Amino acid sequence: MSAAPLEGVIAASITPLAEDLSIDVNRLARHTQRLLDNGCSFVSTFGTTGEGASLSTIEKLDALRSLSAAGADMSRQVPGVMTPTLDDAATMLVGIANAGCRAALVLPPFYYGTSEAGVAGWYDALIERTESATQIDLLLYNIPQMSRIRFTRELVETIVKRHGSRIVGIKDSTGDVQNGVMLAKSFPDLAVFTGDDRVLPTLLASGGAGMIGGMPNVFARDLRRLYDDRTNAEILAKQTERILAVDRHGSLVALKAALATYLGDENYARVLPPLKALDEVGRGKLLESFAKSGFDAAA
């Protein structure tokens, strides 16, 4: 795999959809390239912001193959593995590796809920099932508000002890700055990312690697500036206002609505059921909040 270090601003990309709700690969290719051009070090497709849990393994792997065939730089891709099904997770992981991606961000098994020993055992089984086909780098995905599983220090220690250099990082989407700092200080050999813009400066100061989040879909340039200068209080304040506005209006559906407006292409606003696209009233309030923060889409 590519030796490019996993660090910086990694955009958790939205997934553009066609009218029949299939993945719109052409728009996805343009969007991911736009994110890289605007300062992101990598792009993470098919995670939470990318509606990855609502898309099938076949759909996602077909899209990755199409991106590769279209000439996308797959070495700057860190796709998500978002399934509680071991067989699907293994198929997705091998497909991500075969597409030439830099690494995979792996969500723990959700739905049933389990012990830490059970979660560690699931990663054991995933790695055992795929190790003859790939040695791709893995990042753990800590988003307990969605998965119901929290990566404690003890759980991370167990998985790293068993699998060593295969585990290269963790995305902490708790939004808890102290949790991110704890992970960074406890695991200096791992690339620890936050999913929350507001945590980024403190995490970087504590040895963290950067962020993997949805806000770069719209604000990649500002977030790259914040990464390059963690003391930039003005950008941090603006991003705090923006993330609050996005959260008030449905998170990923808000990001899609903003992109549809700024790119002049309503196809970007389309979402998969059970999500609902942001209505015009909500979009107006969202864009008004962005305008107050001084955002210029053309800048």
Which pLDDT score is estimated for 3? 67
Domains detected in the chain: 8-230 (3.20.20.70)
pLDDT of residue 1: 41
End-to-end alpha carbon distance in the chain: 35
Is residue 106 within 8 A of residue 138, CB to CB? The reply is: yes
Interatomic CA distance for residues 37 and 166, integer angstroms: 29
Cα 277 from chain centre: 20
Task: Identify the pLDDT of residue 49.
Answer: 98
Q: For residue 115, what are its two tokens?
A: 């012990």
Distance CA 192, CA 177 (A): 12
Using CA atoms, how far apart are residues 45 and 66, in angstroms rounded to an integer? 13
pLDDT tens, position by position, 177-194: 999 999 999 999 999 999
Give the tokens for residue 194. 């936050």
Angle between helix 25-37 and helix 216-228 axes, rounded to 10 deg? 20
**Which stretches of the chain score pLDDT less than 70?**
1-3, 296-299
| pLDDT at residue 112 in the model | 86
Kindly calculate the radius of gyration of the chain based on its CA atoms and give it in whole angstroms.
18
The pLDDT value recorded for residue 213 is: 98
Amino acid at 200: L
Cα torsion 275, 149, 141, 227 to 10°: value is: 90
pLDDT, tens only, 48-92 = 999 999 999 999 999 999 999 999 999 999 999 999 999 999 999
